[in-house]
Chain A
Amino acid sequence: MITKRIIPCLDVKDGRVVKGVNFLGLADVSSPVKLAKFYSDSGADELVFYDITASSEGRALFTDILTQVASTIFVPLTVGGGINTVADFDRVLKCGADKVSVNSGAIKNPSLIEEAAKKYGNQCVVISADVKRVDGVFRVFAKGGRENTGMEAIEWIKHAVDLGAGEVVVNSIDTDGVKKGFDLEMLDRVLNAVSVPVIASGGAGSKEDFVSLFKTLPTVDAGLAASVFHFGEIDIKDLKKELKKNDINVRI
């Protein structure tokens, strides 16, 4: 039976992992290559690299790092951040990325999803949506969650999937950073609206939050988190043991 995936997300700026990391026995904690290796050895099922650099120097550095990671770590890699054109897809896929996640770039130009899916296949295109409740309605936010697009989130996600996105990352701005659990209500709405894999993001604070995610929403495919892994608050090996103990199918 297919397993539930656990996915650490690394934000990279100027060649370094941005959110502070604190691991025992890992000397250079902000090195993306070392951290990626550490996660892969701990049983991470996939890695997400998010490029949050704005400068072209930073962008070149990011692709260098991606190349290094893809030369040494053999699990699926998803890349996001600054993906606005099919040429951006090409740039990161050549460095060893398997999937490319689009967010603001697809909001500005939804046909990017369609073009990329035609060229690289649906499995390669991930729609990532930052979603927040505004007056009781789920709205899509752009530019790293700073700008309300006014679009209704479930409709937007459905549209992106119809255009060819093969996977959805739902990042709840409401639960992000709160560490009290994933946004189960929001995720449930998305799961009922689309038939492609859905990845939950935003809100993980403990192993129990992952257990409750997969128990409450058995059709959710993966859980993604950043700081709880980077700060060592959750060890992926322990997390997977806990999930298995709760009869959730994971790769151990």
Chain B
Amino acid sequence: MIAIIDYGVGNLFSLSSSLKAVGADTVLTSDPDEIRAADKIILPGVGAFGDARQKLCDTGLDRVVIEEVKKGKKIFGICLGMQLLFEKSFEYGEHEGLGLLKGAVVPMEGKIPVDFKIPHIGWNALDKKKEHPIFKYIKTGDFVYFVHSYFAADCDDSLLATTDYGREMTAAVALNNVTGTQFHPEKSGEVGLSILRAFNEWED
């Protein structure tokens, strides 16, 4: 069973549907016991980092997620959900993340050439940096769908794949049981589904 954390951020319809399409058993939940009982966790998210972090904190789900992941439970963060895995973000001020991965989330503005539009919206190609179970069906050159204005920097050994948008930018991360994608696998056609399938199949 995969627990999709429902903390009032964004619309989870497509995510639930795509996981169902790859045969995953999921539950949309904000119940700590259900999260503890699940085999894996998906942390979704759209919107602003600060708001999302606050909501996780208000519901106490941040502590539950951190505890479970530190015990070894597999987690997959999507878009803002991936950004939340890092130590901090500089979106509208400075906010602390869950600190499950090393690195910080920074604005694209000023870090990409001025003729590149922000947000980065659309299909872009992956450059795979290493092997990991969630990327077992992925190869360099596969296209996925991005919508974001901030990106994770200094990810060190968690860097799984990058994409080229005026510079090399973090597209996916994975370090042991902690994984995530900046792009939306639930909106990335067959390539995206294959990542969700791999996450569902992933065993030690």
Contacts and interface: CB of A to CB of B under 8 A. Distances in A.
Sort A-B residue pairs by CB-CB distance and give the 5 closest, nearest first.
Answer: A251-B143, A71-B17, A251-B123, A96-B13, A3-B123
Interface stretch (A72-80, A146-154, A224-232): A72-80
Contacts of B146: 2
Contacts of B119: 122-123, 166
A98 B189 contact: no
Contact of B122 (A93, A121, A196, A221): A221
Contacts of A40: 189
A248 interface: no
A121 B14 CA distance: 17
Interface string B99-136: 00000000000000001011111111100000000000
A95 interface: yes
Interface in B170-204: 186-189, 192-193
Nearest to B187: A76
B151 to A, nearest CB: 14
Contacts of A13: none
Contacts of A27: none
B11 A75 contact: no
B127 to A, nearest CB: 11
18 contacts: A1-B124, A2-B123, A3-B123, A3-B124, A3-B143, A40-B189, A45-B123, A71-B17, A71-B20, A72-B17, A74-B189, A75-B189, A96-B13, A96-B14, A121-B46, A197-B121, A221-B122, A251-B123
A123 B121 contact: yes
Nearest to B46: A121
B83 to A, nearest CB: 14
Given A75-B189, A121-B46, A95 B122 contact: no
B1 interface: no
Contact of A74 (B11, B117, B186): B186
Contacts of A95: 13
Interface size class on chain B is 20 to 34
A70 interface: yes
A5 B187 CA distance: 14
B14 A74 contact: yes
A74 B190 CA distance: 8
Given A2-B124, A94-B13, 8 more contacts: A1-B164, A2-B122, A2-B146, A3-B123, A74-B189, A75-B145, A123-B119, A166-B121
Interface of A: 1-3, 5, 40, 45, 67, 70-72, 74-76, 93-96, 98, 121-123, 166-167, 195-197, 219, 221-222, 251
Interface in B140-165: 143, 145-147, 164-165
A76 to B, nearest CB: 5
Nearest to B146: A2
Give the residue among B13, B165, B186 with the most A Cβ atoms within 10 A. B13
A204 B58 CA distance: 51
Contact of B187 (A1, A72, A75, A167): A75
B13 A74 contact: no
A87 B17 CA distance: 23
A187 to B, nearest CB: 15
A3 B18 CA distance: 23
Contacts of B164: 1
Contacts of A121: 46-47
Contacts of A72: 17, 21
Contacts of A1: 124-125, 164-165
